[in-house]
A and B are shown apart, each in its own frame.
Chain A
Amino acid sequence: MVLQAFGGVGVDRTPARLLRWGWRLGCALCLLANIHMGWAQEIRFAIAQAPLTLDPRYAVDAASERINRLLYRSLVDFDAQGRPVPALATWQVHDPWHVSFTLGREGRRFHDGSWLTAQDVVATYRSLLALEDAPHAAEFANIAAMDAPNADTVVFTLKDPDADFPARLVMGILPAHLIARHHDFSRQPVGSGPLRLVEWNRTLRLERVADRQAIVLEEVRDPTVRVLKLLRGETDLLQGDLPPELVRYLKRQPGIRVEETAGTNFSYLGFNLQDPLLKNPRVRRAVALAIDRDAIIRQVLIGGSRPATAILPPEHWAGNPALQPLPYDPAQARRLLQESGLALPLKLTLKTSTDMQRLRLATILQAQMKKAGIDLRIRSLDWGTFFDDVRHGKFQLYSLTWVGVRTPDIYRRAFHSASVPPTGANRGRLRDVELDALLKRRDWPAATARIHALLPYVPLWYEGQFLALGRGLQMRAPAPDGNWDGLATITRGVSQ
């Protein structure tokens, strides 16, 4: 058609030649692209966010924590109820100040071939305490001394008694000889975990130690692109970080297997208790009563999501199954606001990030609260700005999720009077003497009941977890906290 158009006025045919060559070049590139698709037996995993560091001493983001669990082994891990269980070592509490750990035989070969000993454990924790810019150093400030009387035993001496001390030792162990050489673990990790790093360039190339299965992690930020890559066969596995409609779409696709499981990551609506309106407990309760959690869970969240009552789920050893979710009662919410002498509609502002799912949930909350006489305005901010505002108390309401919480220490970090930022995560600035005393006594049932009554957060839900597998892949169900431990055993089975 183009040629005819040119030809119609007798113009030079050079553009036509160019178009022909362009078409040929395009076809050649397409061929190249399809040659690539037949390549490898590697297992490709598309992730929303690449890890920032592979040095467990510096890891704070979820992706780094999840991959470091596979590259390194720690002394201790957790069972399904959140109780610490032996990983590299068993332990014995001699008295409130002394805990000894005895290394077992499993998982003690570092990826460089050296043998993991008690000296490596001591060197790892000493280096952590010596680093000025390590985010986790403060958690181990209670350690007074560490000794390795033999190759298999480490004795920790504490400054103050700490019944939960073993549960803190979940950081990966590094080889002492590389620590001494100031090895860059952030890009060249050497651990004793089930996976070892081959290369980290554009993608993170890993190899499973047991069978040399290649596993490639590729950062693909856009959720739609991740789904398209799975459907196209460019990636084999997706886990988490997809909006529910895309998960539902994947469920309908032939050759894609989606597995969902109950989650433990806790989503909540946080109040600023220094705000003149929200320091009134009736107003906080009215906001809580104005939210129809069940409808949101049913309509908008992925399978496996369930209503929440406290940060730790009821099945956790420090969870509180006696707590009941707050009901949905907009009429009662409206009455509470009127009894507080407030003019309706009550104007409140909710800050949230730019994440599409969070924005969608915010608009649903906005619509639900309208019925209770609350005019909820939404401010969506980029992550850095949003989190900075939350840390500095520049908000009325905000929504966030606690990810991967395993120990009841979280209650102290999130609600104790001494944990107001910058020294903790008491972002709502709750100050309650009774709660402080309960937290000090580690009386978790009473403390969680008190938090439930004070309502510094509106507990929303525990987000369900899912994974989507391409044709022929076999992997165990996703972990409730969304970790990637399944990569240690994933296989290419028989096509279904």
Chain B
Amino acid sequence: MRFLLRHLASVLPVVFGVLLLTFLLLHMVPGDPVEVMLGESATAADRDRLRAELGLNQPLPIQFADYLGRLAQGDFGHSIHTHVPIAELLAQRIPATIRLTLLALVVALMMGVPLGIIAALHHNRWPDRGARLFALTLSAMPHFWLGPLLMLVFALWLPWLPVSGMETGASIVLPALTLACGLAALLTRMTRASLLDVLGEDFVRTARAKGLPERTVVLRHALRAALLPVVTVVGLQLGSLLAGAVITETVFGWDGVGRLLVESIEKRDYPVTQACVLVIALAYVAVNRLTDFAYARLDPRVRFV
């Protein structure tokens, strides 16, 4: 219990830093939510009144302190534009992003790890070259380009999947695939490199010398050791997947946190932007902690004190 509390306490400075940085950056960039809301017809008095109503006329430290106070009570506030409680908006959007991200992760693992194994076991032969070319191609494709390309192939030429939206269960396939491709490429290369290293280790030679079948040597001995760096990459990249979802969600019209973030930035809806960034930052931190724990499970030499 004390161990968990200690880890939670170490998260607090990160969260505070993220909140402060987001708050300052948002207020430093040009653009005024009052201008966006009232347009150009409103009088200066109208603008001042609305600014006061939204608390935007207060000095920044007071605005930030107010925000922290409300957040401590679990109150994210309301959207400046739609007046909808932000907790409600997040409750609608977070499950969609989690669904997309987790499916993308599963797809990436299913593509990347087997390909990496194949490449390592056929080192410098055509399956290896093919896997490397595949990984290189995927990692060179940005999401905003790959997304429409997949739509063209799988929704238009082969009309198997919907172009975008969230109407059916199949709607998640293309955005998840788009999001997964970059990670799959990375996992292929990581698994290959790591497995090649491990296959040259003494303990693998010993296992072979003992007469163990090759599949046991590879899957039980070599792969377990080779997956340690892969787990680290997966942990770090899961956070990136959440951030990458910003673009993918926008391209595919997927109503997740990423799309909400983009919309709120455009409208200068400060409270919504802050809440979205906070959610993404918390997800990053949580995933990193989970990665640490997973590391400890996989490698007995790693211990948390």
Contacts and interface: CB of A to CB of B under 8 A. Distances in A.
Interface in A123-164: 132-133, 135-139, 141
Contacts of B49: 132-133
Contacts of B39: 60, 135
A279 interface: no
B30 A229 contact: no
B161 A10 contact: no
B141 interface: no
A33 B160 contact: yes
Given A2-B114, A33-B162, A231-B156, A138 B43 contact: yes
A446 B41 CA distance: 25
A234 interface: yes
Contact of A424 (B40, B151, B215, B253): B40
B226 to A, nearest CB: 14
Contact of B47 (A5, A52, A422): A422
B253 A387 contact: no
B99 interface: no
Contacts of B42: 135, 137-138
A278 B253 CA distance: 43
A125 to B, nearest CB: 15
B300 interface: no
Interface in A225-246: 225, 228-229, 231-232, 234
A392 B35 CA distance: 11
A138 B45 CA distance: 10
B148 interface: yes
Interface stretch (B12-20, B166-174, B229-237, B285-293): B166-174
B164 A33 contact: no
A220 B37 CA distance: 22
Contact of A132 (B50, B118, B253): B50
Interface in B1-49: 29-32, 35-44, 46-47, 49
B53 A133 contact: yes
Contacts of A228: 148, 151-152, 155-156, 163-164
A26 interface: yes
A227 to B, nearest CB: 10
A294 interface: no
A58 to B, nearest CB: 8
Given A36-B162, A413-B40, A384 B82 contact: no
A29 B169 contact: yes
A266 to B, nearest CB: 15
Contacts of B170: 29-30, 32-33, 36
Contacts, number: 171
A186 B163 contact: no
A187 B29 CA distance: 30
Given A18-B110, A139-B41, A384 B219 contact: no
A487 to B, nearest CB: 20
Contacts of A135: 37-39, 41-42, 46
Interface in A65-90: none
A133 B118 contact: no
Contacts of B255: 202
A35 to B, nearest CB: 8
Interface residues of A, number: 64
B210 interface: no
Contacts of A385: 29-31
A157 to B, nearest CB: 21
B178 interface: no
Given A135-B41, A225-B148, A30 B160 contact: yes
A384 B164 contact: no
A378 to B, nearest CB: 18
B56 to A, nearest CB: 12
A391 interface: yes
A382 B81 CA distance: 19
B132 interface: no
B159 interface: yes
Q: Give the one of A229, A384, A424 with max B CB within 10 A.
A: A384
Interface in B225-258: 250-253, 255
Nearest to B144: A222
B129 interface: no
B38 A234 contact: no
A321 interface: no
A224 B148 contact: yes
B53 A34 contact: no
Nearest to A12: B215
A115 interface: no
A224 B44 CA distance: 40
A223 to B, nearest CB: 10
B30 A388 contact: yes
B218 interface: yes
Contact of B171 (A33, A35, A388): A33
B172 to A, nearest CB: 8
24 contacts: A2-B118, A5-B127, A8-B122, A11-B117, A29-B173, A32-B169, A33-B170, A53-B81, A135-B42, A136-B41, A138-B42, A186-B82, A186-B83, A218-B165, A221-B251, A225-B148, A232-B162, A234-B164, A384-B30, A384-B265, A387-B35, A391-B40, A413-B41, A423-B43
Given A10-B213, A220-B164, A382-B265, 17 more contacts: A2-B118, A6-B118, A9-B214, A9-B218, A11-B218, A29-B161, A30-B161, A32-B170, A34-B159, A53-B81, A132-B46, A218-B253, A225-B151, A225-B163, A228-B163, A384-B266, A384-B267
Interface of A: 1-2, 5-6, 8-12, 15, 18-19, 22, 26, 29-30, 32-37, 52-53, 58, 60, 132-133, 135-139, 141, 186-187, 202, 218-222, 224-225, 228-229, 231-232, 234, 382-385, 387-389, 391-392, 413, 421-425
Interface of B: 29-32, 35-44, 46-47, 49-50, 53, 81-83, 110, 114, 117-118, 121-122, 127, 148, 151-152, 155-156, 159-171, 173, 213-215, 218-219, 250-253, 255, 265-268
User: What are the 7 closest A-B residue pairs judged by CB atoms, nearest first?
Assistant: A384-B31, A33-B170, A388-B30, A60-B39, A30-B160, A29-B170, A11-B215
